[in-house]
A and B are shown apart, each in its own frame.
Chain A
Amino acid sequence: MYWLIRADLKKGYNEIFGKFSLTDKTENLEALMKLSLNGDQRAYAVVLQETARLLRPFLARRLNSVSEVDDLLQEILISIHKARHTYDGERPYKPWAYAIAKFRLQDHLRAHYADHLHHAVELSEVENDLQVPVTKSDFTYESISGEIEKLPPKQAAILQMMHQEGYTAKEVAEKIGMKESAVKVAAHRAYKILRKILER
């Protein structure tokens, strides 16, 4: 039954859009949406397919991964479905659909950055750690080199350059093509891991 409906919708899509050029397709979204509001499932499937086609590049330019684009696109299509009674078929369709897409994108980005902030490391905390005189500690780089090697390769390389070869965070950043703050954060995370291991 499901495949029959699927085939039927696809046929409807081809029947309806086969007749139109690409420009026509977007121009006729208003008419198709009007049919959808009257319960025409084929027209509605076409509108949603076209909307997804229009929105995908819009989202891809603003998000990093394809899976993120797919997830958000699904969320937007569901929002369009929920809000379809706010469209009357009389005004242009695209501004209406883009308004919903932007709204969901902003929500998504807000949640994304809030999550990032939640897991972020306070830079001042990092600075404090970096000011600790590591050379005067009970441990030397050589004495804990075994533990350092167990760290993720990037963190290990940063510690080696800073504490064995004597580079500053800025110099390390230039050498490995990272931002200075990113080097400091990576070093801070490495210190945390080492501290935990050595405290055992």
Chain B
Amino acid sequence: MANIDELVESLARDAAPVKPAPHPLMLSLGWVAGAAAYLVVSLWLSGLRPDLMQKLHEPWFVAELASLALIFIATSLSAAVLAFPDLHQMRKAALAPAGLFALFVVILFFAWRADVPPAPLPMHSFECTASIALFSLLPAVWTFLAMRRFASTHYRWAGSVALLSAFSVGALWLLLHELNDSIIHVIQWHYLPMLGISLAGWWLGKRLLKW
């Protein structure tokens, strides 16, 4: 008990004024804005897919684009919430990506059903996954560095969501850049790797976010 009293006194003596961390909504807003700017600049440099205006009239393409954007926003908010020890007492926000992923799977299923006759598969395959991963590196580093300033008590989960958020920015970029109509290819090489990414984030979270 005496030790506790001494510790309390020593900690109290060290208590300089500290600036409280921003609210997770503000934090995620910053990340989303940063990622949106990165996406715009990248698309400006790499170019939009030539048939984008035409594709924006296809309901399943628009649904895929919108749900992917929502996944990105939800994972950003979830990562921001998970950076706080008590999830900023917004547990539902931390779980929000789960519902959106379920919606995304449903949309992909209907897009696959609507792909009749199936669009031809492109010549390339894993190159798409590699491009998305490379594109996602910067947002991933940025998000992890930002999260390390806080105190996550769910570091594996936080790491997983942070990597998914970064990867969804990459997937958005490729969706708007690549001239490709094959939903099979997109599922196989753009979205299924998200499972592996979430596992990598699980592992990375323990390495980088534990405090």
A residues engaging B (CB < 8 A)?
A: 5-6, 9, 36-42, 44-45, 48-49, 52, 70, 73-74, 77-79, 81-89, 91-92, 95-96, 98-100, 102-103
Q: Is the CB of A100 within 8 A of B151?
A: yes
Contact of B153 among A40, A74, A82, A103 (CB under 8 A): A103
Contact of A85 among B3, B4, B19 (CB under 8 A): B19
Residue B20 lies at the interface, judged by CB distance under 8 Å to chain A: yes
Tell me the interface secondary structure of chain A in the complex: helix
Complex contacts, A83 vs chain B, CB 8 Å: 85, 150-151, 211
Residue B187 lies at the interface, judged by CB distance under 8 Å to chain A: no
B residues engaging A (CB < 8 A)?
A: 1, 3-5, 7-9, 11-21, 23, 83-89, 150-151, 153, 211
Tell me the interface secondary structure of chain B in the complex: loop
Complex contacts, B3 vs chain A, CB 8 Å: 70, 74
Complex contacts, B153 vs chain A, CB 8 Å: 99-100, 102-103
Q: Is the CB of A39 within 8 A of B17?
A: yes
Q: Is the CB of B18 within 8 A of A37?
A: yes
Q: Is the CB of A95 within 8 A of B86?
A: yes
Bound: A95/B153 CA distance, A: 13
Bound: A39/B86 CA distance, A: 23
Q: Is the CB of B18 within 8 A of A84?
A: yes
Complex contacts, A79 vs chain B, CB 8 Å: 151, 211
A-B contact pairs, 5 of them (CB 8 A): A9-B9, A44-B11, A49-B8, A86-B151, A95-B89
